[in-house]
Chain A
């Protein structure tokens, strides 16, 4: 398991996955559609209780605006738990006007990225992200 994508908008998810595929970065990707599911998955609870918590994703792509538990809450949980705080989390959001940008950085987000409207730019952004975090960036051993 390498990338966890948490995104409730199916179109955005499809665009993201397509962009990652183009760069051959989707050999192992899990897509979850809300915050609660994401937390269950990461902490191996509920439906995912058979999972091992140590089996952490190499990268989490997190949307902020989601029903029930939003991205901020998910980020807070991940970054406040010793077992998961080392996982790089990239927040993907629709707007740079987002008032949560400050909160995300305070919670220890690794990157904050605005999804462009233009398809080419979107592809570009996602593939840059994938390349950087999956290949260039050196995670802790």
Chain B
């Protein structure tokens, strides 16, 4: 996603820069062309001015030549006249060429040409007169007003052409400078764009190299994960063949990678699992991911492994990525555990059944003896019978408690959020009134906990009934139930002011059938606290107690506040 947007930005920048280069290039070319044109026009004007100058000089030469000849009769003057006359036309044509595309100038040049022609014609006429009629006649003609006027006209016209052309040249010079400036600017822009392009290219290449290097490093890393993994990892195609497997895969199954990739994997699946595997395979082809799919897989030695598969397809490459956990040992252990649990259940059942039946007989027959022959026995005889009965009853209770304890140990913990005040009040209500009526029971505001309701009720029942039992001999028994929250744990405490216990025997407190008081002091078989201990440990909590003989005891347990299932 991030890379994608980066690419987009890069492409956008590239496009902008390339368009910039094209536009700057076009402008540079155009300004360059225009600059050259302007330069040409400038030269054109300069040449035009030169030609104009020369034409005027030639016209003077003609006039001077004519005048010299008329005055002196020297033919040398005539030849200079002839020479100027010969090239003046050529000059005018060139002048015309230089000032094309400007109608007002063209008109002026045209007039100039006519004036010159008229002046030349006048000179020719004077020269002819001199040749034929001699000096006086010609001189008269030479001094006519007409010649002077013509020259003046020529001079004025030449000046106006010059002025106009100079102005034109100035305009052209300006346009030339403007073009040169534009050309320079667009050239700079072009340079900047090219520089930017190079910069982006460099950046792009650098970035790509970096990404590639990173990807290669990552690939190497993943390769380590792939090959050093204790799971079985493999990549398969949609034709049902693996194309690559990791080291552990071949180690566990006993095939080399090459051997393994030549076998359609369905052939190695336990016949009973083939149908289910094909279903999963088809669902992978539609893009679905599979987790915890268990199949039996045949090793090279013919034995089967239990594999727990997770698989992900890639629809673009048509490859399936498999990771499997070898759960053969776990499966075996589970089966063993299941068998052991079954055995234990049968054992408990057997205990409850087979031990109770003879006890019932012992108790029943002793009782029958007492009923039928009690009158014939003395007091001691009757006391012995009673002792038999009482002990049979105790043993019955022991069996019941032991069974309850073992049953709790096997019960699955189902956590819910428990309102402890409701639970504790329920427990107290259900208790024997002879205990609860005498005692003062103080229940604080209790924190809620996340635990198994049935098991926790049993815990609270045992703790509260213990507290009531051991404080029952006090004149004013007090039982307090309270809680606190500490370090993410809820601590529930049950405190009494009863018989307490000696801390020296603390380690016996939570053991099964362990008692710190004599049977004739307080009845009980010593399972209650063992159950409390077992339940709290199974919830991941802790149990502890403090006591002092004849001063009471406090029993606490802690449960994590936010315990997940």
Contact = CB atoms under 8 A, between A and B. Distances in A.
B389 A119 contact: yes
Interface residues of B, number: 25
B353 A11 contact: no
B363 A118 contact: yes
B352 A97 contact: yes
Nearest to B355: A94
A11 B366 CA distance: 12
18 contacts: A9-B361, A11-B361, A11-B365, A12-B360, A14-B364, A15-B360, A94-B352, A94-B356, A94-B357, A95-B352, A116-B396, A117-B360, A117-B392, A117-B393, A117-B395, A118-B389, A118-B392, A119-B367
Contacts of B353: 65, 93-95, 98
Contacts of B360: 11-12, 15, 94, 115-117, 119, 122
Interface string A6-43: 00010110110010000000000000000000000000
Contacts of B357: 9, 11-12, 94
A81 interface: no
B348 interface: yes
B349 interface: yes
A99 interface: yes
* Most-contacted residue by chain A among B359, B366, B393 (CB, 10 A): B393
A82 interface: no
Consensus secondary structure, chain B interface: helix
B359 A95 contact: no
A52 B392 CA distance: 43
Given A117-B356, A117-B392, A118-B393, A97 B364 contact: no
A54 interface: no
Consensus secondary structure, chain A interface: loop
Interface of A: 9, 11-12, 14-15, 18, 65, 93-95, 97-99, 115-120, 122
A9 B362 CA distance: 13
Contacts of A97: 348-349, 352, 403, 407
A99 B353 CA distance: 12
B358 to A, nearest CB: 8
A118 to B, nearest CB: 5
A23 to B, nearest CB: 15
Contacts of B393: 117-118
A124 to B, nearest CB: 12
B117 interface: no
A15 B403 contact: no
B368 interface: yes
A98 B345 CA distance: 10
A97 B353 CA distance: 9
